[in-house]
Structure formats: structure tokens, C-alpha cells
Structure 1
Amino acid sequence: MHAVLSRGPDGVPVLTRTATPGPEASSPTAVADLPATVAALDVAEQPRWTWDDTTAWYPGLLAAGVRVDRAHDLRLAHRILRSSALAAGSALAAAPPGPWDAPPAAVDPEVPVGTVRRPQSESLFDLGPERPRTRHEAEPASRPDPVAELAAQQDAVEGAAAPGRLRLLVAAESAGALVAAEMRHAGFPWRADVHDQILTDTLGPRPPEGARPARLESLVGEIRAALDAPPTLNPDSHPDLLRAMEYAGVGARSLRKWELERLDHPVVAPLLEYKNLYRLWTANGWHWLDQWVTDGRFRTDYVVGGVVTGRWSSTGGGALQLPKAVRRAAQADPGWVLVVADAAQLEPRVLTAMSRDEAMAAAGQHGDLYAGIVASGAVESREHAKVGMLGAMYGGTTGVSGIVLPRLTRAFPRAMGLVEDAARTGERGGVVTTWLGRSSPPPGQAWEAVQAGALDDGAAADAASTARSSARSWGRFTRNFVVQGTAAEWALCWLASIRRGLWELGTSSSPGLGPAPFADRPHLAFFLHDEVVVHAPAAMADDVARVVREAAAEAGRLLFGDFPVEFPLTVATVDSYADAK
């Protein structure tokens, strides 16, 4: 049963219960106390809560201590079905752009349920300036009908070329939205005092606003002295710094780390240290600590499907790029632990399963896929196996990749053939699709103009070369799209299974410092593509590790059935995130 939530003209939540959207749906009912209604119905009937955006409804419910078991995010599902090649013949895919094509919203959990705001995002979408909408503010006259949209989506899935796969993808994407909201609500345990001490030990005491920390200021002096530069030289100005380095005869053409490390000059050591510490100060320094850590928790807004392949992004705090230097501040609550798990060699294993390459599956059956490739005789070293596989998935054709790829192709023709076919499709301007049905975007008008320009009678001498280069570049994108996108689908199923399994473990007699409904339960606290962190009572750590491992196996079965591919995990139980690796 679907429990569809929408808003009435006055902004009051409205509930429509339906098993089959359309004429048989129940009459919409205004809901005075949404958290209480949702909590009671979720226990009594276990519906699939259906709403326009998870980010518009779920944070407020969580703030009231209410967790839901299942949901269907109409806007996330619409985005998938709108562009999926598997549903290309549906009425939904053929319809002109409408309100369901707008980007997903995000919500401040401090405001009442039903209040919507648009975020500034680090994802592919430019959502424009943020503007809150109050609970009672009138929506546009063309308010989208969630019941009708649900019916259109079900029709699109049922009429798809592979309805089972699309159904799983839509369910997993919606479950991911629940996970993202819950991780933001629960937060990643973070010791502000430890973080401050890390910064003080590394950079010196916190400086006044507008000033550099003491260690950076000292390095500035060393850089100026090494270059015999005036005291006005600002190393934060790359043009000025490069000019000073040229004047001093350093011979650097850029400030890239790999180029600086090849140079023999006294400025190199202090400059490299300055660059490293400057990034720590600006990306994860005291300002970051003030902005993103409250009540002993680091919280960010995850954007589900924020990357075109289906990977997540985040809208602030650099959650997907936490440097090792500050991970010691991520510490479990007293009596609790962090269970950290990452999937080993996820993308090549996904490629193995997608292609049904039994030879490569056999190579990965003993834990280390790259070592298994060496044992098969395909290549001579583990490093060659790793570089060759990365080259196959990302389009590397030079150096070691160029040498070992032909050998990998002979040993594993199905796996190598799959990514080669995806690359050729992209080079022709075609669309490729992940295992469950997320399709790549077309290359766009600029790309098509370059290709067409090479055929013009008056084309420039280098037009053909430019067109070939552009085609190969798009081929590298589609080559990786099918693998990275399917790996993201596996990760979504993994997260959904972990979420369910953790809740089924029940409560602990040792509550943590986090908010309800997770204060006394193990819960997901952090996610990074192929890695999860669960915050758990110490006494439940072994059960949590079991849940995480079983979820990885279940994700493999959901996507690939009984094909003999393994998804081994590295699992560590630690007090601090820094100790996990």
C-alpha cells in the first residue's frame, strides 16, 4: 500500500492511501499531527510512504523522533525513468518537461515538516539561490499531483524492457534518500576539542580573523627567503608566486605537486608544506569546525544521485573528501564504537558480474582480484593487474595500461568487451545504461557541432583531429559510466540492506549522545561510495559487522543473481575513524 503525502492549498499535509493509483485511490485526508499519524500507520500497515521529495518530508519526521520503514521518492524516481533507455517508450519519458523535472529540494531540519527550500549544491545541478518557503506559502497554480505521478511511474516501470531491474533501482534510490536523511539527522560523531588540538599542533594557535596561522606565516618567510623575494610576495597568489620562481630560476611551469617534487631548489620543501597546510586550514580548519560541527556531530546534506552516474555528492563540509589529518576527531561516543567497512575492488568486481566473465570471477574468488589475475597468468604483477583494470574502466591507453590491456583482453574477453562496447557507443554519440537502468546523458549540441564540423567542405585542417579527440573523450565517459553507475547501484542496495538489518538488531542498554530515534540503536553515520561507517554500542559491534557483511552479499544477489562473483569487505571496529585504515 502506498501512503501518498502532499500539501493542500493552505500548506497542511494531506494523506492519500492507495494500492492502485487512480480512481481507486482513497479520498485525500488532511493530517493535523503528521508525525503521530505517520508513526501509527507505519507500524499498523507498513505502507510505502510516497512523497515529492524525501528531503522535504523526512527531516521533520526524524526531528520528531519518527522513522519510516519504506518510501518512494517521486522526484528521484522521475529523474531515473525520464531518461532511462529501458523506459524510453513510456508516456512519462515522452511527456514535455513539467514540474516533476525540477531539481530535488532540501530542508533545514529545524523548520516544521513540509517547509521546502532549494539548496546550493556541489552536484551537477545549478539550483540557484536559496529561498525558504514557509509552511503556509502558496505553491504555484500548477502544483504537481503525486497520485497521478505515481501512476505514471508505475506504468513506465511495468512497460519497461526490464521492469524488475528498474523497479529495484527506483526502490534503492528511494531507500538511499532515507539513509541520507537519517545520516544527517544522526550525524557523524565528532570531537571538536580533538579537531581544535589537531589544528593547533599542526598550524599553531587559532589566529585572529584575516591572519594566517603561525606555522603558515613562518613558511611564507622561508618561501620568500628561498626566492630572494620582497616581503610583499603573497604565496597565495599563483601568478605572483610563479613570476617570483621564474625570476629566481626555479624552472617551474606550474605549482602542481608532481612537478615541484622533481625540482632541486630550496623553495620546494617549504612550498610543498605550505600548500599542504594551507589546504588543511582553508578546507577543514577552524571555520569548518565552527560551521559544520554542532552538538558533537558533523552533519552535511548528502545529495542522492548528485553525480550523473548515480553516485552521491554533498552540499557542504566536504563530507566526501575528509582528509586523514582530521579523521582522529571522528570518535565514537563513550561505550560506543565505529564499525568501518569498505568493499574491496568494487568496480572491477561489478564489471565482472555485469559481463558474466567467469574467468575473471574465478580470479576474484580468493579475496584479492588483482592477485588472482596475476595467478591466472594474464599479467606479471599485481601492480600491472591494477593499472590494467583501471585503464580498461577509465580509458587508459598509454604506459603500463597500453602494454597490459591486450593481455587482459585475451584472458578476460567478456569483461574487456563490455567496456569497449560502451566506449564505442559513446564515440558514436550513443547512450549507455547501467545494469539496473540508469542511462547516460547524450553528449550535447556542442559535441555534435564538433562532429558535424569535421565533415563540412570548408572545415579547418585540424577539424577531423578535434572531432576524433572529442569522440574518444566521450567514449571514455561512457566506458566508465556503465561500471561506476552499476557500482553505485550495488552500494545503494548495500546501504538499504544495512539500514534494515541495523534496525532489526534492536535497542541497546547503553544509549549514545545522538538524537532519537537512533540514540540507543546502531545506525549508519557516514558513507563514501564504497565505504560505510556505523556508529554502534560496543556490545553490538560483532552483530553490526555481521549485518554489514550479509548486506554486501545480499546486494550482490539482488543485482546479479547467482553469478559467482564475490564482494568481500574489510571491516574494522575502532574508537576513532583514523584507526580504521
Structure 2
Amino acid sequence: MVADGEGGGRLRPLDGDGPERRVPDLAAAVRSAEADRPRWVWADTRDTYPELVRAGVRVERCHDAALVESLLLGHEGRHGEPRSLGAAWSRLHGRPAPADPHEPAGEGTAAQPALFEADRSTLPPGTDRLDALAEVHADQRRRLAALPPGMDLLAALESAGALAAAEMAHEGLPWRPDLHDRILTDLLGARPSPGRRPPVLADLAARIGEAVGREVNPDSPAQVLRAMAWIGHPVATTRARELERVEHPVVPLLLRYKELSRLHSANGWAWREAWVDERRGPGGERLGRFRPDYVVGGVVSGRWATRGGGALQIPKAVRGAVRADPGWVLLRADAGQLEPRILAAVSEDAGLAAAAAEDDLYARLAVHTGDDRARAKLGLISAMYGQTGGDAAPLLALLRRHYPRALEYVDSAARTGERGGVVRSWLGRTSPAPAGWERHVSGPDGDRRRRAHGRFTRNFVVQAGAAEWALVLLASLRLLMPGAVVFFVHDEVLLHVPRERAREAVHAIDAARERARTVLFGDTPVRFPLAVTVTEDYEGTPRPR
């Protein structure tokens, strides 16, 4: 499928069953064809699907050529090469690949809907876009067929993730502007005029100057460093961890200023105006929608990123503004202990899998640490993240005796990384090779660089597996509860449904959780429990650990 930029487009069956069609109304044509459950092939979901969703059209499946090209390039050791349709087509024809189109930061409420993006493919002038797309798709299918079957599944899941991202951006996370105002006013004081500090920050700045004995701009790291030296407590940085080591009356004031200033800049009044659409509810309530601009696979491990808006880091202080519409509820599904359970499944360690069959994996491991759950947790997290010294060392030795396959799985990944090699996830996502490896490791800090890359590859094989599990969960939920999924971050998903559909949504979450387990790991004994909370707001839902 390609759009013409004027609401229409061209459709061509890729199985040879039927002729190419020009359609004046692309959304209507897709809606009609969706009854046959096709897999739509397009250059980039972001250029086509948002307008379909705005027209009330949802598709079940797609093949996102840009995302699939990125996965294949990574598998071929070519991370970072352009992935657009034009780049993929150019490589097929032995031409230099053009750079990908510039991706600006998310525009939030200032974004203007386009009548389908006409052409961001970077194809050479005169090249037929539909012919090029068919050619690139055929090449990608050939490359996928030559790889282990997990990559084909990963390509489908990544494409499904792009559909979910567009749908969530359209639905939006419910956000109450009036509650947000109240939270900000309680913490910061009345909204200031442009260019001025809120009253609480202004008061803190004055008190910081009084504690130091001279005027200090707490927004300036350089001035804070000079002030700390002035009072006889020089520090190397203004990071909270370093300031907390200093005993002086100014430190609590600086830490509080940093906390509230971050809130004001990242999630204050200006942020809301940029990112939250506001409308009136049936009873005159101020209702809103926060619409994140998700970047599917934006992190090399497969985790998502965002372009502006800070959706992946909504601070606890403002979560009270995330409230269901009148007559609706939020369902928060949180996968606690996801990464250690992924390790149990991908390593096929029978002992760890048995522990992961319990609701609390760490409690089961604690039988080896004198019933000390905290120590058991420290040991397993150290194994996944490469903390080998201090208190972790004896715990790692203990875990290696009881769970040898699991520890060898991450140890082997670390050894590969320390040699400058690459590792692959359960389905085949590939870690990037370190640039300039020989030059860097032959330098004075070569050992440090080896260990650092080993820690990266050690965690990559677990974190990437967790991202794949989350993709299956999300892909399943968007089909089971269309339009209900409104927020996603790593191992947590939020649904927004009418109150009378809450029980249905709980069942859907349970079905999606089970599907994620079996699609990835078959008949594994490992369980992936989801803590599901039905609530009216996001603030009061505890996160299991």
C-alpha cells in the first residue's frame, strides 16, 4: 500500500491474486479489505496508520518495512545504517543509501494531522513507490527465510508494536488538567508569569543564598559548585548523590530545589499545554489526553523510547492527574520480576524455572540465603547486571551452584561482550558491535572498556527478551480490547475502559499474559504473573517488586 498524499492511494496484492487498484479514499478501501484479514505492507507505519486510525480504521496486521529493515541490518552487523524504503531499495540496486528522513522531536498538541504523508521514502525521483515497496518486501522475506524462525516472529511483533503505538497516541492517556493544576499549585505555588520562578522555587532560591551567605542561582551548576567551595565543602558535581554526602544546612534546600525544579520543567504548566489535549466532559469537567510520541524499538534492546513528552518517566508526584473519565476505570497491569523470569525461560535452567513458577521468585530463591529475600534478590540482579564485587560475590557463587545454566547464560553473554562480540536475544535481535574496539581496548583503560561491554551484553540478552515478551502482550491486548490500551512503558500497560467492561478487560489481560508465555516459550513452567489493579487513578496503584 502507498498513499498519494490526497486521501487516496494504490493497493496491490503481493500474492498475485488480483490487479493493482487506485482508490480515491484509502481509509474506506482499507476498511473494506480488512474483512479478509490481510497483512498490510507499507514503508513506515508512522506515515500511514495514524491517519487511518483517525478515520476510524484499525488493521489487525502489518509489515513495517522500515522496522523490519532495521532488525535485519542489526542481524547483519550493520546497526545504524539507513532503514527507509529508499535506503533499502538503493542497497538492492547497488546504489548509495540515502540518509533517513530527519525525525523531529514530538510536537504534542501542536501537531497538525496530515492527509497521509505523501512521500518520506527517500526514493530517487521517478521511482515508482509501489514497485519499490514490493521489491523491498520480497527481499526482506528472502532474508528472513534464511534466518532462524524467531526473526520472522520478531518482525511481525515489531510491526504490531508500531500499530499499537499509533493507536495509543490516538486514544491518549486520560489526564485531568484541573487535578494537575492542583498538584502543581500545592507543590510549587501559583503559576508564575513567563520567565519567573514559581513562588516555592523562588523562596528556596532565596533561602539557599542565605545559607551560603551570597546570592546563588541554583539553576546554574557552575554557581552551585562555586557556592559549595565557598562554604568549605567542594564537590565535583551537583548530582544528588554527591551533595547528600555533605553535612551543611544548604544541602536539603538544594536537593528540594532540584526536585521541584525538575518537576516544573518536565511536567509543569508549560508541559501540559504542549502535550495534553483538553476538552469538556459531559458534566463540564476538564478532561484531557496526554498523547506520547512513541519510538518503537528506540533502544537497541528493543525497548521503546519517546520523542519528547517524557512518557516513560511520569513522576509519582503528578500521577494523581492520570484519572479515568467519569464512568470509566483504569486497569494497570504490571509484570513484576519480569527480567529474572525471562532469564529462567531463555536459559532453560530447571531450578530457576521451578522458582519462577511461584508468585514470588525471590522468596523461593531465599531458601539458599537463610530466608533472606533481599540477599537473594541482590544476587540475581547482580548476575543480570554484572555486579561482581562486594556483597554480590558470595551470592553469585551460591547462585552458580544452584542455578548453573542460568548463570552460564549471562556469563557467556558477558564473555562474548568482553571479546568485542555481539549477542542475540531469544528471537534474534542483535546487539550492536562496539565501534573502534581494537583501538579502545588497547588503550590504558582497555580492561574497563572490556568489562563495561561485557556488562552490556550480559544484560542485553535478558532485557531484549523482556522487550519481546512485552511486545507479544501488547500485540495481543490491542486485538482483544481494541481502543482500550492507552499507555505502555517497558513492563507495564494501562487500559482505559467503561466501568462495566472492567471484568472483560481483566480476562483479556490474563489471556494476553498467557499468550505471551506460550508464543515465546511454549510449555515452559515459568510463570509471568501480572499484578492487575482496577482503579480510577494512577497514583494509588502500588508497583510490585
Counterpart of 2:84 in structure 1 is none
Distance 1:236 1:57, change over 3 A: same
Residues 1:214 and 2:217 are matched in the alignment? no
User: For the Cα contact (< 8 Å) 1:11–1:114, is it kept in 2?
Assistant: no
User: For the Cα contact (< 8 Å) 1:13–1:114, is it kept in 2?
Assistant: no
User: For the Cα contact (< 8 Å) 1:408–1:416, is it kept in 2?
Assistant: yes
Distance 1:350 1:427, change over 3 A: same
Counterpart of 2:472 in structure 1 is 493
CA distance in 1, matches of 2:120, 2:487: 24
| TM alignment of 1:244-259, pairs within 5 A | 244-259=227-242
Query: Alpha-carbon deviation of 1:149?
Result: 1.3
Query: Alpha-carbon deviation of 1:358?
Result: 0.9
Query: Alpha-carbon deviation of 1:549?
Result: 1.7
Counterpart of 2:438 in structure 1 is 448
Query: Alpha-carbon deviation of 1:404?
Result: 1.0
CA distance in 2, matches of 1:228, 1:419: 53
Residues 1:192 and 2:195 are matched in the alignment? no
Q: Which runs of 5+ in 1 are unaligned?
A: 119-132, 455-462, 504-517
SS of 2:391's equivalent in the other structure is: helix
Deviates more, 1:402-411 or 1:298-307: 402-411
Counterpart of 2:453 in structure 1 is 474
Query: Alpha-carbon deviation of 1:326?
Result: 0.5
| TM alignment of 1:219-234, pairs within 5 A | 219-230=204-215, 233-234=216-217
Counterpart of 1:13 in structure 2 is 9
User: For the Cα contact (< 8 Å) 2:225–2:234, is it kept in 1?
Assistant: no
Q: Which amino acid aligns with 1:47?
A: P
Query: Alpha-carbon deviation of 1:171?
Result: 0.8
Query: Alpha-carbon deviation of 1:85?
Result: 5.7
Q: Which amino acid aligns with 1:264?
A: E
Cα distance per residue 1:478-521 (max 9 Å; x no partner): 11111111110110001011111113xxxxxxxxxxxxxx4xxx
CA distance in 1, matches of 2:155, 2:178: 41
CA distance in 1, matches of 2:459, 2:186: 41
Normalising by the residue count of structure 1, what TM-score does the alignment of the two structures yield? 0.84
Deviates more, 1:329-338 or 1:543-552: 543-552
- Match 1:579 to one of 528, 540, 543: 540
Query: Alpha-carbon deviation of 1:11?
Result: 9.4
Counterpart of 1:544 in structure 2 is 505
Cα distance per residue 1:134-191 (max 9 Å; x no partner): xxxx97445651111111111112221x12x112111111110000000000100101
Cα distance per residue 1:256-309 (max 9 Å; x no partner): 222322322111221111111010111111110110001310011100000011
Distance 1:97 1:236, change over 3 A: farther
Residues 1:569 and 2:527 are matched in the alignment? no
Identity of aligned residues (%): 45
SS of 1:479's equivalent in the other structure is: helix
CA distance in 2, matches of 1:156, 1:580: 45
Residues 1:175 and 2:165 are matched in the alignment? no
CA distance in 1, matches of 2:405, 2:158: 28
CA distance in 2, matches of 1:177, 1:52: 12
Query: Alpha-carbon deviation of 1:442?
Result: 0.9
Q: Which amino acid aligns with 1:537?
A: P
Cα distance per residue 1:215-239 (max 9 Å; x no partner): 0000011111111113xx2111111
Counterpart of 1:354 in structure 2 is 346
User: For the Cα contact (< 8 Å) 1:314–1:320, is it kept in 2?
Assistant: yes
Counterpart of 1:111 in structure 2 is 114
Query: Alpha-carbon deviation of 1:35?
Result: 0.8
- Match 2:249 to one of 240, 247, 266: 266
User: For the Cα contact (< 8 Å) 1:340–1:531, is it kept in 2?
Assistant: yes
CA distance in 2, matches of 1:546, 1:109: 37
Deviates more, 1:24-33 or 1:412-421: 24-33
Counterpart of 1:327 in structure 2 is 319
Cα distance per residue 1:46-71 (max 9 Å; x no partner): 11111000000000011111111111
Distance 1:146 1:541, change over 3 A: same
Query: Alpha-carbon deviation of 1:474?
Result: 1.0
CA distance in 2, matches of 1:444, 1:219: 45
Normalising by the residue count of structure 2, what TM-score does the alignment of the two structures yield? 0.89
Counterpart of 2:24 in structure 1 is 32
Q: Which amino acid aligns with 2:334?
A: D
Counterpart of 1:508 in structure 2 is none
Q: Which amino acid aligns with 1:177?
A: A
Query: Alpha-carbon deviation of 1:543?
Result: 1.4
Residues 1:149 and 2:140 are matched in the alignment? no
CA distance in 1, matches of 2:265, 2:120: 27
Counterpart of 2:82 in structure 1 is none
CA distance in 1, matches of 2:314, 2:269: 15
Deviates more, 1:253-262 or 1:166-175: 253-262
Counterpart of 2:282 in structure 1 is none
- Match 1:59 to one of 23, 39, 50: 50
Residues 1:527 and 2:478 are matched in the alignment? no
CA distance in 2, matches of 1:209, 1:87: 46
Counterpart of 1:308 in structure 2 is 300
SS of 1:18's equivalent in the other structure is: coil
Query: Alpha-carbon deviation of 1:553?
Result: 1.4
CA distance in 2, matches of 1:8, 1:252: 59
Q: Which amino acid aligns with 1:350?
A: I
User: For the Cα contact (< 8 Å) 2:328–2:496, is it kept in 1?
Assistant: yes
CA distance in 1, matches of 2:137, 2:17: 11
Q: Which amino acid aligns with 1:290?
A: E
SS of 1:536's equivalent in the other structure is: strand
CA distance in 2, matches of 1:572, 1:73: 33
CA distance in 2, matches of 1:311, 1:534: 20
User: For the Cα contact (< 8 Å) 1:335–1:537, is it kept in 2?
Assistant: yes
Counterpart of 1:459 in structure 2 is none
Q: Which amino acid aligns with 2:430?
A: S
User: For the Cα contact (< 8 Å) 1:378–1:408, is it kept in 2?
Assistant: no
Distance 1:401 1:579, change over 3 A: same
Q: Which amino acid aligns with 2:10?
A: V
SS of 1:76's equivalent in the other structure is: helix
Counterpart of 2:285 in structure 1 is none
Residues 1:483 and 2:444 are matched in the alignment? no
User: For the Cα contact (< 8 Å) 2:363–2:371, is it kept in 1?
Assistant: no
Query: Alpha-carbon deviation of 1:429?
Result: 1.3
What CA RMSD, in Å, does the superposition of the two structures yield over aligned residues? Answer: 2.5
